[in-house]
């Protein structure tokens, strides 16, 4: 009788242990699922913020001829980072077209680098790897600045902020001095257009992968 009770007790202990292991396994799976969903939500928030910032930010593309004696600037086009590849094929009211400047190096003004917070996106660990790689193909991982007076290139493409100003804002802008510092992207304008198009494709692909399809994205219109 004693042996039978010992056997029952051992059996109950084994069953209890198994139930504890199963409960622990389920808890870990639930925690992992919850953690994954939280990370995915934060990633989605970050990606949507990046898209919103880049959609609302209008670039002014100019072609610069700079010498020691003087500097000239030719308007090329305006648009957000996602629309420039479409405009490359369209008609622009400009002496030069985008196709005419694809071989020239690209510089960003200090103002545009700061307002877009490019470094914040590049170094954010939550940004999906596929998207961050495409972003790094456009913007340098380590952003540095040079004074326009010290640039060795006589011809280059400058990307600045496009503004629509009323008379008061125009007067205020005239008083404010523009920074002479620019950041070299390390690619020519043709590669810049190609890489921005690839970023757009990768963003679309990532959103579809997580089941997000019906968004108000300008490039899909």
User: What sign results for the dihedral spanned by CA atoms 188, 193, 199, 201?
Assistant: negative
- pLDDT, residue 157, reads 92
- pLDDT, residue 199, reads 93
- The beta strands (E) that lie in the chain are given as 59-66, 71-79, 105-109, 146-147, 155-161, 181-188
d(CA 149, CA 140): 21
- pLDDT, residue 87, reads 57
pLDDT, tens only, 79-98: 888 888 765 544 454 555 76
Closest CA to 134 of 195, 46, 183, 188: 195
Rounded to 5 degrees, φ, ψ at 196 are -70, -35
- pLDDT, residue 93, reads 45
- pLDDT, residue 22, reads 73
User: Measured in whole angstroms, how far is the alpha carbon of residue 129 from the centre of its chain?
Assistant: 11
pLDDT along the chain (221 residues), means of 10: 59 67 65 65 91 87 80 84 68 59 89 85 91 92 81 87 54 54 89 92 90 67 48
Decide: 57 and 80 in contact? Cβ < 8 Å.
yes
- pLDDT, residue 174, reads 46
- pLDDT, residue 90, reads 46
- pLDDT, residue 169, reads 43
d(CA 111, CA 35): 37
Residue extents of the structural domains in the chain: 50-220
Does pTM top 0.95 for this prediction?
Answer: no
pLDDT, tens only, 115-130: 888 888 988 999 999 9
- pLDDT, residue 219, reads 59
């Amino acid at each position: 009788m004693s042996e039978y009770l010992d056997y029952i007790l051992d059996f109950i202990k084994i069953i209890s242990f198994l139930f504890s292991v199963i409960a622990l396994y389920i808890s870990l799976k639930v925690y992992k699922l919850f953690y994954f969903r939280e990370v995915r939500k934060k990633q989605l928030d970050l990606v949507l913020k990046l898209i919103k910032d880049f959609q609302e930010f209008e670039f002014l593309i100019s072609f610069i001829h700079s010498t020691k004696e003087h500097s000239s600037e030719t308007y090329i086009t305006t648009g957000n980072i996602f629309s420039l590849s479409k405009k490359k094929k369209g008609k622009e009211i400009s002496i030069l077209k985008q196709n005419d400047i694809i071989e020239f190096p690209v510089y960003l003004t200090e103002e545009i680098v700061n307002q877009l917070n490019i470094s914040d996106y590049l170094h954010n660990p939550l940004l999906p790897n596929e998207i961050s790689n495409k972003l790094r193909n456009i913007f340098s991982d380590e952003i540095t600045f040079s004074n326009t007076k010290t640039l060795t290139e006589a011809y280059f493409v400058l990307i600045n902020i496009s503004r629509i100003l009323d008379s008061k804002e125009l007067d205020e802008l005239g008083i404010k001095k523009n920074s002479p510092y620019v950041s070299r992207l390390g690619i020519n304008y043709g590669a810049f257009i190609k890489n921005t198009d690839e970023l757009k494709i990768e963003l679309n692909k990532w959103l579809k992968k997580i089941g997000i399809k019906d968004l108000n994205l300008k490039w899909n219109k």
